[in-house]
Chain A
Amino acid sequence: KQEVTQIPAALSVPEGENLVLNCSFTDSAIYNLQWFRQDPGKGLTSLLLIQSSQREQTSGRLNASLDKSSGRSTLYIAASQPGDSATYLCAVRIPGNQFYFGTGTSLTVIP
């Protein structure tokens, strides 16, 4: 069974810092990997989708990388802002079409 792990579980940084969130998965047979943002009590908002054949995707201040062979992905957030405070979840889509989620990294950006 696919297992997805996110480190750290929580992160607190001052505004303006660049930061990296980590995601690892145990089975490299994936279709894609998706990063989501979740605000407290809310649903999931998709941030970036990386196909298994891709190495990275960028959107604004966000950059996600994928190393399928080693089972790792990172989400890089540049110049963090208080509005970035949320929980960030990664999920891998496997053959059979389920997504497996990590438990998330709770990010707090301090003004």
Chain B
Amino acid sequence: DTGVSQDPRHKITKRGQNVTFRCDPISEHNRLYWYRQTLGQGPEFLTYFQNEAQLEKSRLLSDRFSAERPKGSFSTLEIQRTEQGDSAMYLCASSRARGYYGYTFGSGTRLTVV
């Protein structure tokens, strides 16, 4: 169990640029989740995958956001035409499918849009 890995740890980008984040879940976890956390708030759900299928998307996930999980392994979260309001910590978590399992989170990617 090597934990959930996220890359990069920090990203500073200019408004209007595209950014992509990567998450590598725990290998035996077939569910992968993306959350966003702003300062002083709890994490908010964005989307989740079971294997390669994206099963749910939050209304927070605007058309500028897209997530993929090819082959059911790692996942990428892309934000196009970034805005200052996208500045946040983006957290990835993985879990086994059954409801009684908990989540394991990665260390997050801190995005700053200037």
Contact = CB atoms under 8 A, between A and B. Distances in A.
Contacts of A97: 31, 48, 56, 99
Contacts of A99: 33, 43, 45, 93, 103
A24 B43 CA distance: 16
Interface in A39-72: 41-46, 49, 51
B102 A49 contact: yes
User: Which secondary structure dominates where chain A touches chain B?
Assistant: strand
A43 B108 contact: yes
A46 B42 contact: no
Interface residues of B, number: 24
Contacts of B40: 103
Given A42-B107, A43-B107, A32 B42 contact: no
B99 A32 contact: yes
Contacts of A34: 102-103
Nearest to B3: A43
A31 B100 contact: yes
Interface string B84-114: 0000010101000001101111111010000
Contacts of B31: 97
Contacts of A104: 42
A101 B40 CA distance: 12
Interface of B: 6, 31, 33, 40-45, 48, 56, 89, 91, 93, 99-100, 102-108, 110
Interface of A: 4, 31-32, 34, 36, 41-46, 49, 51, 89, 91, 93, 95-104
